[in-house]
Amino acid sequence: MRLLIVADTHLPARARDLPAQVWAAVDEADVVLHAGDWVTPRLLDALEERAKRLVGVWGNNDGAELRRRLPEVARVELGGLRWGVVHETGPKQRREERMRAAYPDLDVLVFGHSHIPWDTEHDGLRLLNPGSPTDRRRQPHCTYLTCTVGGGELRNVVLNALPLRRP
């Protein structure tokens, strides 16, 4: 099963649309996971229409309509692993220990908010943050994650860097 993991898309505040490379990844993915900060429902509508399967949550920049349509925390079984998706996990200090305690039943937790890519494992919990495909902040590139999952194994986790946009 091929997964695309995105967060912090901030459309249309940070970009008019997702980059073409990300839309191509949507088309290739069996499941798209979005860890919040959509900003408007337009992208949610487009992903619901285009993605084979979508799992998403709302973030701190998402208003009433997105909060009505999406959960704060999503839980799903994919490829024999128990996944969770949430927007915020708090400060990076001791994040692994806090999230293991908060989500004792998960194998993988996808999160956003920081726009900083993250891939760590602690006590059986893999934590993944894809960064942002539209707002790199202090990162060298805008990013998103792809991976495959099956038979209870997470494989081929790749942080994909997008080319810098020209002014």
Instruction: Quote the pLDDT of residue 166.
Output: 53
Report the pLDDT averaged over residues 23-49.
97
Question: What does the angle CA 97 – CA 120 – CA 147 come to, to the nearest 5 degrees?
Answer: 135
Could you tell me the CATH number of the domain that includes residue 10? 3.60.21.10
**Number of H helices and number of E strands within the chain?**
4, 10
Dump pLDDT digits (tens) for 65-76.
999 999 999 999
Q: Using an 8 Å Cβ cutoff, are 83 and 110 in contact?
A: yes
Paired strand residues for 143: 161
* Between 165 and 53, the higher pLDDT residue: 53
Give the DSSP H/E element, type plus range, for residue 23.
helix 20-28
DSSP assignment letter at 12 = T
Q: What pLDDT digit, counting tens, does each position of 77-87 carry? A: 999 999 999 99
pLDDT at residue 14, as a whole number: 83
Is residue 102's pLDDT more than 80? yes
Which whole-number Å values give the CA distances from 83 to 12, 23, 113, 133, in the listed order? 28, 23, 18, 21
Structural domain includes residue 80: yes
Q: Decide if 166 is inside a domain.
A: no
Question: For a pLDDT cut of 70, what percent of the chain falls above it?
Answer: 98
- pLDDT value at 165 more than 80: no
In the predicted model, is pLDDT for residue 30 greater than 60?
yes
Task: Print the domain residue range for 47.
Answer: 2-161
Work out the pLDDT band at 89, boundaries 50, 70, 90: very high
Residue 167 lies in a domain: no
Q: Mean pLDDT for the chain?
A: 96
Residue 13: per-residue pLDDT: 87
Question: Mean per-residue pLDDT for 118-143?
Answer: 95
Q: Is the pLDDT of residue 94 over 90?
A: yes
pLDDT level of residue 164 (50, 70, 90 thresholds) = confident
Count of domains forming the chain: 1
